[in-house]
Amino acid sequence: MAEFVVIAAAMALGLAAFAVAVLPSPGWAMIAFGSCVGLVALGVRRSYPHPSFGLCNTVTLGRAALLSLLAGVLADAGAVSPWLVFWVGLTILSLDGVDGWLARRSHLKSDFGARFDMEVDAALGAVLALYLMLSGRTGAEILVLGFMRHVFVLAGLAWPMLRGALPESMRRKTICVVQIGTLIALTCPLVPAAVVGPVALAASALLVLSFAVDTAWLVRHRR
């Protein structure tokens, strides 16, 4: 736990310096990261099985720190350069998979680490979708692309069969990358406004189809 505290504190200092330099309201980024650190600390205490936090989880926490910076952008979405959002988002996506590789290499694989990585991905999609809407790049329909997993989780509260474990799926992983990649691409100022809507619609359709396939599987295999 001491290792985690040192890592989190160092990242908080780095994030604070970066946020002050690039954001009109840097405090929101720090609040987001502080909330993330609190949740991660709780997860480590409850279910992390290894004595070392490890480089793998440090990478994931670094992705969460960058994500917190993007969350801070939401307070002033129209006042921040879209290039900042694009490059930070691309960096977060580029590091996805590195943490898993490091976990396998260092024998630090855990359910906690996998869940941590998945939640960062889900939060990244939500933040990017909110940014695209708040900045005026798209309408509220983009929220379908950013919040499908959150809707699925909420649906599981009403229908317990949706909380079942799903088998590994390359289709699911591929569409997740397409989802995040599309959201990041749409933040790029070089993408013509005329193609934003159709591209978002196509990616949303793929994502909805993927969740429909998973839902059908869970219904067929419910206990």
Spans of all domains in the chain: 2-220
Q: What Cα–Cα distance (Å) separates residue 172 from each residue in 76, 96, 167, 179?
A: 33, 15, 10, 10
Residue 179: pLDDT band (50, 70, 90) is very high
Express each pLDDT in 139-159 by its tens digit: 999 999 999 999 999 998 888
- Asked if 88 contacts 62 with a C-beta cutoff of 8 angstroms, the reply is no
Q: What pLDDT shows up at residue 59?
A: 96
Q: Any idea which residue has 């989880």 for tokens?
A: 57
- Asked if 92 contacts 73 with a C-beta cutoff of 8 angstroms, the reply is no
Q: What pLDDT shows up at residue 165?
A: 83
Cα of 196 vs its chain's centroid, Å:
21
Q: What integer best gives the mean pLDDT of the chain?
A: 92
Q: Is 216's pLDDT higher than 70?
A: yes
| H or E element that contains 194 | helix 193-220
Which tokens go with 103? 């976990």
Q: What pLDDT shows up at residue 65?
A: 97
Q: Is 218's pLDDT higher than 80?
A: yes
Residue 162: pLDDT band (50, 70, 90) is confident
Cα of 81 vs its chain's centroid, Å:
20
